[in-house]
Amino acid sequence: MKRVIVGLSGGVDSSVAAYLLKEQGYEVIGLFMKNWHDDTVTISDECPWLEDSNDAMLVADKLGIPFQTVDLSEQYKERIVDYMFNEYEKGRTPNPDVLCNREIKFDVFMDIALGLGADYVATGHYCRKGTIEKDGKEIHQLLAGLDTNKDQSYFLCQLSQAQLAKALFPIGELTKPEVREIAKTQNLITAEKKDSQGLCFIGKVRLPEFLQQQLKPKEGVIVEVEESFEDYNKAIPNFESKENELTYLSQKPVYSVSDGKIVGKHQGAHYFTKGQRKGLAVGGTKEPLFVIDTDVDENVIYTGQGKNHPGLYRNVLFVTNEELHWVREDLALQEGETMPVMARIRYRQKLEKATLHKVSSGLYVEFENKQSAITEGQFVAWYLEDELVGSGVIS
């Protein structure tokens, strides 16, 4: 009998995952990951991880499976929290959920599970795993969840073949309402539980406040850049090569304070992210202001009016070789090769047509349509039909 360790998070998705695995005849063990100690940064008085671990325990009890808690807070702090601060200080915007899957759930946690004699690790993600044979080798595919509304393949975009080989996603074939229905029928305490918001495992944390405790506030100016800014309206030169063109198009405008007018003050450019609208506290503009860029060295935030401001849009982005990842290593492009794909630059975005161009220093992703708020530090993921084949950090 194959042994599966389920990451029971205290939510409905992982509860139903555990139930389905048991129905399928696996020997199932539930493990709750405690990843956070510092209760001073949660918003409300409730202690989210305590409540969640309790729910996870009750579900395990109901299903009649062994249950234990593992404390991964040290690794979590090191690999996720410290990394996030580091990225914010560089003026990039990290994605903790993608990292949490790569570094914690399918690495640290997976090692613990395999140490307990598990054949597989399962999570309650809305995605599917496929396995094909190619040149006599087994190759694992990361496929989108059938519930297009809930598809979470993006969050797993950094997984490797070795990690996928040991992974199971029992609810990938189901929709959220079906999952809740199963939980109700089985009288699982999590059936009606709201989906968790906030940082993967940190509970309800307000990110800026959380960061502010570590990053010192420093006052700087907010500059508004007009749509008439010359950089937006300059003629595009003729290029000697496609690569030159891509390099040109992937570069964002470089602003200085004199390119616009000062419209307010802020408490630290590193607290803001591109495309952000809330928290600027500047009134009196015809349309709301959006962050179009931040300069953490000079501590300046550049903004533009309205969500169609040209400063928000580009259609080419670049990923360096160091931050390029192929889930399907067998499909990795060689220098000079291109590939038509569907891609997204954030979790909730619908897939957009794009072309990958491999060059010696990395990979360009050229979108057919301009994308809003391409943000350094976030992940771009690309798909062939419903299969996620690779991803990278936007540089």
Cβ atoms within 10 Å, residue 229: 19
Give the residue among 165, 131, 106, 152 at the shortest CA–CA distance from 13.
152
Cβ atoms within 10 Å, residue 25: 9
- For 36, 53, 90, 170, the CA distances from 70, given in Å and listed in that order, are 11, 10, 32, 22
- Give the 3-state secondary structure of 148-167: CCCCCHHHHCCCCHHHHHCE
- For 32, 83, 163, 179, 189, the CA distances from 11, given in Å and listed in that order, are 11, 26, 23, 11, 9
DSSP letter string over 270-335?
GG--TT--TT------SS-EEEEEEETTTTEEEEEESTT-GGGEEEEEEEEGGGEEESSGGGPPPT
What stretch of H or E contains 357? strand 352-359
User: What backbone phi and psi angles, to 5 degrees, belong to 22?
Assistant: -65, -40
Map tokens 């998705």 to a residue: 13
Give the residue among 291, 262, 9 at the shortest CA–CA distance from 123.
9
For residue 320, the Cα-to-chain-centroid distance in whole angstroms is 18
Give the residue among 24, 13, 5, 2 at the shortest CA–CA distance from 121.
5
Would you mind telling me the total number of residues written for the chain in this entry? 395
Which residue numbers are catalytic? 100, 200
Name 383's bridge partners.
Answer: 342, 388
Name 6's bridge partners.
Answer: 30, 122
Helix axes 176-185, 12-23, angle to 10 degrees: 70
Map tokens 């009134």 to a residue: 283
